[in-house]
Amino acid sequence: MSPIDREEAARRAAEELLRPDYEKEPLLDRIRRYILQFIGDLVDGVIGGGTAGGVIAAVIITAIILGFIALIGWRLSKASRRDAAPSAGLFGEQAMTAAQHRQAAEEFAAQERWTEALQERLRAIARDLEERALVVGMPGRTADELAAEAAQALPAFAGELAAAARSFDDVTYGGVAGTREAYAAMASLDERLRQARPAPMATAAEPTGAKPTGAEATAAGPTAGSATGSGP
C-alpha cells in the first residue's frame, strides 16, 4: 500500500467529516476533535524534521495547548453551574409545607447528607415565612430574593438571612459541599425565625401647630382672665 501524503490525508478527513454521522455531533465534541487533529498534525510535522529540538518543541506546544483546553473547559463548567437556575425556583417542583421541609432536612442530616439538608432547611424557612404572611408567596423565587424580602419584615435577621441565601446558592449552584457546621447555623436561624415577630410599623408623627379641641382647652387649666383673680 502506497503512503498517503498530507494533502490526501486532509482530503480524506474532509470527506469523512461530510458524512451524515457527523451532522448531529455536539459542537464541543467537534471543536475538541478539530483541536486534537491540529495537535496531531503539528506533532507529525515537527517529528518529521528528525531533530531532538523539534521533538521537545512539539511536547511543549502540545502541553500548552492541552492546558489551555483544560482551562477553558473548567471555566465553562464553572460558569454553567453558577448561572444554572432550577425550573421551579427555590422550592423545586414539589409543593411541601414548612414542617415537611423541616422533617426532610432532619432526615438528610441524620444521614450526613449536608448539602440536601441545607437546601431543605432553607426551604423550610422560606415556607414558614410564607405561611406566617411575612413574605408573599412567589413562584420561582430565588434564595436572594427571599432574604431581601424577609429582611424588610425582620430587619434584625437581615445579615443571617443573606448568609443563609449564599450558603444555599453555594451548595446548589457553586459545587460547594455542605457541612455539619453550615447546617447547624441554618437550623439555628430557622428556630429563631420561628419565634421572631415582625418589626412594628413606625407610627406617624403628630402634626405640629394643631389647635386644641374644646375638651383639650377646658382641661388645659384656667383662662388668662381667671388667672389674674378678682380684687378684694
pLDDT for 82: 52
CA 80 – CA 77 distance, rounded (Å): 5
Express each pLDDT in 7-22 by its tens digit.
666 666 666 656 665 5
Residue 119 · residue 171 · CB < 8 Å: yes
Ranges under pLDDT 50 in the chain: 1, 84-88, 202-210, 212-232
| Residues 6 or more apart whose Cβ sits within 8 Å of residue 104 | 96, 116, 120
DSSP labels, 70-126: HHHHHHHHHHHHHH---TTGGG-SS---HHHHHHHHHHHHHTT-HHHHHHHHHHHHH
| CA-wise closest residue to 119 among 178, 175, 70, 34 | 178
Residue 148 · residue 142 · CB < 8 Å: no
Please provide residue 58's backbone torsions phi and psi, each rounded to the nearest 5 degrees: -65, -40
Express each pLDDT in 42-59 by its tens digit.
666 655 555 555 666 667
pLDDT for 7: 66
Residue 150 · residue 218 · CB < 8 Å: no
CA 25 – CA 38 distance, rounded (Å): 18
pLDDT for 45: 62
Rounded to two decimals, the pTM is: 0.50
Q: What percent of the chain has pLDDT over 90?
A: 35
